[in-house]
Amino acid sequence: MDDYESILLVKSEVFVYRIPPRSTNRGYRAADWNLGTPSWTGRMRLVNRKNECILKLEDKTSGELFAKCPIDKYPGVAIEAVTDSSRYFVLRIQDEEGRAAFIGMGFGDRSDSFDLNVALQDHFKWVKKEEEAEKEKEEGKPTLDLGFKDGQTIKINMKITKKEGQEGINRPKPKGGSGNLGLLPPPPGGVKLAPPPAPASASTSPAAPPAPTSNVDILGELSGAPSNPMAQPAVAGGAGESWGDFASASAKPPPPSNPPSGGSGSGWVTF
């Protein structure tokens, strides 16, 4: 488990430059390097081993180690950005004997340098959280005692209004179960109520009752007179004009009370 490495970032192409010694404390400038002719080109791997961050420069084909840069913090002395570009850095490489040297490293794309910055920042944030967790574990985190002491009581003020507390008590319950839906039962015995009378229309007049049949009409049919009394001329005299016509129409004497026995049907009088 000691040789286990966690890979944080891999870039397939990086450029390595020989850099002159720094003349001032202002920082390194990539313009002072011979950027057109890099000293070495290979692959970069950023790994974590036993909480130690190491930047390795390896051959693209064989994977042979060219140089390694242990990084204890970022930003720091181990890896430092130049002042005139965001794609180039100055690395402090070390060998197995502990000897150190400074070289220049650069990327062809600006996004590659951005990925390196983010990977280093995330790694050291994680290392800081791990250290804080180990420190709390060793010192012991104080726990809160939320239990009641002897004789300690609490008071709860529950404000329940009349409307809220008695809303379900005073509510009337429906009778006859929940399926009636408040409908009244039918009347006993199947009594049927008469329908209401139809309202009389204002535009139509009530129908006139049929005229009674008078004796004049009956006698007129027997005597051959016209049946319509309205066809006769009106005669002054009021209601007795019809009877006057009937009396004047018969010129023959009335039949005898005892008809003679000799003839059958001779006693009938034709009107």
Q: 10 Å Cβ neighbour count for 3? A: 6
Whether the link from the prior residue into 38 is cis, omega within 30° of 0, is: no
Are 79 and 103 within 8 A, CB to CB?
A: no
Q: 10 Å Cβ neighbour count for 46? A: 21
For residue range 119-133, list pLDDT tens digits in order. 999 999 988 888 888
CA geometry: angle at 267 spanning 213 and 249, to 5°? 45
- Please report how the helices 215-223 and 241-249 are oriented relative to each other, as an axis angle in degrees rounded to 10: 20
For residue range 88-104, list pLDDT tens digits in order. 999 999 988 889 999 99
- What are the sequence ranges of the domains in the chain? 6-137
Give the total residue count for the chain.
271
Locate the DSSP E strands across 18-71.
Answer: 40-49, 52-58, 65-71
Is the pTM higher than 0.75? The answer reads no
For the chain (271 residues), the mean pLDDT of every run of 10, in chain order, is: 79 93 81 90 91 90 92 89 91 89 93 93 90 79 73 81 57 54 63 64 51 51 49 46 50 54 52 49
Name 23's Cβ contacts closer than 8 Å, sequence gap at least 6: none
User: Which CATH number describes the domain made up of 6-137?
Assistant: 2.30.29.30
